[in-house]
Amino acid sequence: MSLSEISRETGLDRKTVRKYLSAPGPATPPSRSPSGRRVRVIDEFGPLIDSMLRAEVLMKAAVIHERLAQEYGFTGNYQRVKLYVQTARPRIAEELGITPKELAGMHRRFEVIPGAQAQVDWGGATRGRVYE
């Protein structure tokens, strides 16, 4: 097989394939051992996130992240919470007897108190032009 074919087959970059095939050692890339698995910050907060989703299955990941950081001292980033919620929400919905079709059809109304937010439409503004 050519380097390009191996690259497509394995999903690795062509230069990475060349590196491992030209190396004097084993022809396979090193892999992490399962015993050396790192503990992720999100793993310890998983049960807490699950309980938040059980209380309100459509709670946004941003709200969950904010609550975790403020109330529980969570130091992880938002993206990790979002990825966890993405996999946990369908599981929790199934536990609660909510079908995926019902879950997709649900929405949450966005409301704020008067004066709390403003919206600006910058669509008409262009750089370098002055409108009179």
Angstrom distances, CA of residue 40 to CA of 15, 45, 70, 79, 120: 31, 10, 19, 13, 39
Whether 85 and 64 have beta carbons less than 8 Å apart is answered as: yes
Amino acid 82: pLDDT: 94
Whether 49 and 84 have beta carbons less than 8 Å apart is answered as: yes
pLDDT along the chain (132 residues), means of 10: 86 86 69 65 91 90 94 92 92 87 67 83 63 54
Non-local CB neighbours of 1 within 8 Å, separated by 6+ positions: 9
